Amino acid sequence: MTTKQPKYEYVSSARLPTRFGDFTIHGFVEASGQEHVALSYGQWQPEDVVPIRIHSECLTGDALFSTRCDCGFQLEKALQNIVDKGCGVLLYLRQEGRGIGLLNKIRAYNLQDTGMDTVEANEHLGFDADLRSYDICKLMLDTLNVNQVELMTNNPRKMQALEQLGINVTARKPIDHGLTKDNKHYLKTKTEKLGHAFDPHLFK
């Protein structure tokens, strides 16, 4: 009899000192081999509401300091917010380019350089506007004994996705987006086409 492989699995944890503070990093893997991590800070009880941020990988923004998106800025703000609050969790999901992958994201960037917006570029390449999945978040939060969350996001759809997974989201907290001349059109597109909750006056 063949044992069915679990869809997601917790792997291990270790101390992760950062310039923001001392976190613990927790590793998770999907049956496909895709790896994800969670960073936790501080302590909480099972009944506590824990601040969290779900951050999809963005190599260009997170590691290469690109200003054509708001990803790297939001990653840093989330880590700092968690430390300032005294506890929290950042779920770092390996979903580059809204799920299309790094090289396809570069292709999409090339199309954006010719005048398309981020949604049009993804669709031109044959992808949906957003292919990300948040299914693993439930396992990650259960493993960390987090039962109620305050979600740091400008994307109300992300809140709805977590609630559909049975995660109790008590509140949505906006997160600074780091507006620049290079990402202004990108943020405007996220507001108008993807439902993100930015102040429309930012784009005037």
Which residues are annotated as catalytic?
130, 132
C-alpha 142/C-alpha 26 separation (Å) is 12
Do 87 and 43 contact (CB within 8 A), yes or no? Answer: yes
60 marked ligand binding residue:
no
- Residue 112 labelled as part of a binding site: no
Query: At 92, is the secondary structure helix, strand, or coil?
Result: strand
CB 55 within 8 A of CB 89: no
Listed in sequence order, the residues at least 6 apart from 194 whose beta carbon sits closer than 8 Å to its beta carbon are 119, 129, 130, 155, 157
Q: Is 58 annotated as a binding residue?
A: yes
Q: Pull the structure tokens for residue 1.
A: 């009899």
Q: Are 118 and 190 in contact (CB under 8 A)?
A: yes
Q: Confirm whether residue 133 is marked as ligand binding.
A: no
Q: Is residue 118 a known part of a binding site?
A: yes
71 is in an annotated binding site: yes
Q: Find out whether 180 is annotated in a ligand binding site.
A: no
Q: 98 among the known binding-site residues?
A: yes
Q: Which amino acid is at 34?
A: Q
- Residue 69 labeled ligand binder: yes
User: Rounded distance, CA 153 to CA 172, Å?
Assistant: 7
The binding site for GTP consists of 53-57, 74, 96-98, 118, 153, 158
The binding site consists of 53-58, 69, 71, 74, 96-98, 118, 153, 158
The binding site for Zn(2+) consists of 58, 69, 71
